[in-house]
Each structure stands twice: as C-alpha cells, then as structure tokens.
Amino acid sequence: MRIVVDLNRCQGYAQCVYLAHEVFKLNGTESLTYDPNPDDARRLQVERAAAACPVRAIMIDRLDGAERGAAS
C-alpha cells in the first residue's frame, strides 16, 4: 500500500507510532519518519493510525494497484 504524511502538518504527537510502529517511527523527540509503501498486510494498522492522527496528516492510497493506470 502507499501512504504519504504531510510533515508540515504533522505535530509529532506519535499516535501513529503507537498504532503501527513498524510503519511510523520517531527520530528523536518529534521528527516523524515512516515507510511510504508498507506491506499490504499492515493496511488495517495503518488505517487505524491515519484515523487516530489528530491533524489528519496521513494520506492513504484510495486505489488498489489495478486502477492506478500508470505503467509501474
């Protein structure tokens, strides 16, 4: 799956880290780092993390691979 975090908006509250720590990590005290294309098996975790983000900074792909249309 594909995600992107708007790190301008992100406030480093780390809710996402608690809910999906293989995907979101804190570097130091407030610098968020993450895996932009995590394994599909983590979808539920990541969706929970996105829903829990207080500033809605996490965007999840709304399409599955077939619909994307671009040659990859």
Among 14, 35, 43, 61, binds ligand SF4 (CB under 6 A): 14
Interaction between residue 51 and other proteins (CB under 8 A): no
Rounded to the nearest whole angstrom, what is the least distance from the CB of residue 1 to other proteins in the complex?
Answer: 8
Reduced to 3 states (helix: H, G, I; strand: E, B; else coil), residue 23 is coil
Q: Which of 18, 30, 40, 47 binds other proteins (CB under 8 A)?
A: 30
What separation in angstroms does the CA of 43 have from each of 8, 19, 23, 24, 70?
24, 11, 10, 13, 22
Name the segment binding ligand SF4 (CB under 6 A); options: 10-18, 39-47, 64-72: 10-18
Binding site for other proteins (CB under 8 A): 1-4, 6-8, 10-12, 27-37, 59-63, 67-72
